Amino acid sequence: MAEVFLSYLDEDRDWTRALAEELERHGLVTFLRERDPEPGDVLLQQTEAAIGRAGTAVLVLGATALTDPQPYEEYAVLLREAATRGLRVIPVLCGDAGLVVPPFAADRLWADFRGLSPAERTAKAGDLAAIVRGEWRLAPEHLDQLRPAPPPAAAGPAPASFVVVYARADADYGGRLVSWLSGADLPVWSIARLTWGSEYTREIRARIRHSIALVVLMSPAAEESPDVIREILEGQRHDRILFPVLTEGAPNFLLASTWYVDARDGALPGPAQLRTLQRVYREHVAGRVAQLPPPRQPAVTATRTPSGLELARLRASLADGELEHADLLTTNLVLAAAGRLGCGWLAETAAGDLPAGLLRDIDAAWAESTGGRHGFRRQRQLYRLQHEFGGDFAVLATAYGWRPRPDGRPTYGEQPATPKYGRFVRPDGPPPGFFPTLRNPQAEHYPGWHARWRMTVLAVHRQLRSWPIEG
């Protein structure tokens, strides 16, 4: 059996030794650097050899993990092994209840052993041993259900499946929905498949990028969840079909213009919705993209002032360098301010419905995060709308790099016909003024989306006519 390598600081030696003994009671072989090398052995060589033999590494993080350089050095070796041969690395938190997870471990799902009684620690050590062995075992950490899964493959896309997205508070319904899809012989994946040691950001993004469609649970908890918002944006970024299921409250602001299933009575989707998903799956297998029914929301929704939380999300996405996510959030902020979330676009005459203060806040966020490279002011420098109606959208789109130049010189857009959002925002460096694009990928699943996008852009830019052109 492959060894379990335990990495720890000197002050956590006794705690780690006790954990190793618990794991050994479950039949695992463990390695502790100060216990197992024989007299005369070179410690560094023995440690590296033990890492090479191990199938799992447990990184014990105590109260001083942020200040001591030792875990950073040893973890670098563990990361190399994880990348090259699939070593599972599981961070385990111990000691001070106020510990902040170090950034080098923050992207992996950790096991929290802090504040446990002896009996609770014994039980959780059993969960950890089961995960190491690859056995099914419930573990209530971070998610309501955690299922052991092999480390992600070093190469190749994640298997295509329906990805079920939900907040932790909705895990009960999410689990029922996963079982319902599985029972219909549809491939399905959810965060319940993650376990301690999973690189959850990378794995979730890979699953979404290669998904058939996203089945998104909408609820107040989901709308407040940064993870759910990020996963919806990632799905839109890659032109995935989104199949929202409303379990409580109102539709998510990112999905207000999307057809959805009303499940606020707690019932699972019915036969008609199952047939829709089966059709989506058949079309995917055949190499085609299926169409969902058109939105059933009214064309105009009540005006809603965007909250400070939504502006904060925009700034956070920009700070993280997630320009596409920030772009999509910008579109939703604008639509919400004009009361047009339900239809997903603006009429050309809707310029007066847009509060100038919000547009200035959005512009400031883009300008500050990109050094003035993007934002409405940068766009004003590149193109000045001259007419009350019927502005030259083709000239505007060329100026921003949204389409090729008439002289044939390449710009950011790769074809005269505007591609869907996923290809439109290729990651090879957008030109100045490219963002915000005001595109709504969910509307692009339906005919006539390009004309609606054009009207949205011109409506916003008419509101910007009074802004001075600088530079």
pLDDT one-digit tens code per residue, 67-82 = 665 556 677 777 778 7
User: What's the whole-number average pLDDT of the chain?
Assistant: 81
* Residue with token string 């950011």: 412
pLDDT one-digit tens code per residue, 34-63 = 665 454 444 566 777 778 888 888 888 887
For residue 176, pLDDT over 90 is answered with: yes
Q: Helices 226-237 and 323-337, interaxial angle, to 10°?
A: 100
Phi-psi region of 334 (alpha: psi -120 to 50; beta: other; left: phi over 0): alpha
pLDDT one-digit tens code per residue, 248-295 = 998 888 888 788 899 999 999 999 999 999 999 999 998 887 776 666
- Kindly state the DSSP code that residue 219 receives in the 8-state scheme: S
For residue 149, pLDDT over 50 is answered with: no
The reported pTM is 0.73
* Residue with token string 């590296």: 48
Residue 57 pairs in a beta bridge with 5, 89
| CA angle, residues 110, 114, 116, in degrees to nearest 5 | 120
Phi-psi region of 428 (alpha: psi -120 to 50; beta: other; left: phi over 0): alpha
Token couple for 279: 């059709």
For residue 326, pLDDT over 90 is answered with: yes
Q: What share of the chain is helix, strand, coil (3-state, %, to 5)?
A: 45, 10, 45
Q: What is the pLDDT of residue 242?
A: 93
pLDDT one-digit tens code per residue, 293-322 = 666 544 334 344 556 778 899 999 999 889
Q: In whole angstroms, what is the distance from residue 161 CA to residue 253 CA?
A: 25
Q: Is residue 217 very low, low, confident or very high in pLDDT (cuts 50, 70, 90)?
A: very high
Domains and CATH numbers, the chain: 3-133 (3.40.50.10140), 162-285 (3.40.50.10140), 308-463 (no CATH)
Say how many residues make up the chain: 471
Which of these, 190, 203, 199, 198, lies nearest to 157 by C-alpha position?
203
For residue 139, pLDDT over 50 is answered with: no
For residue 211, pLDDT over 90 is answered with: yes
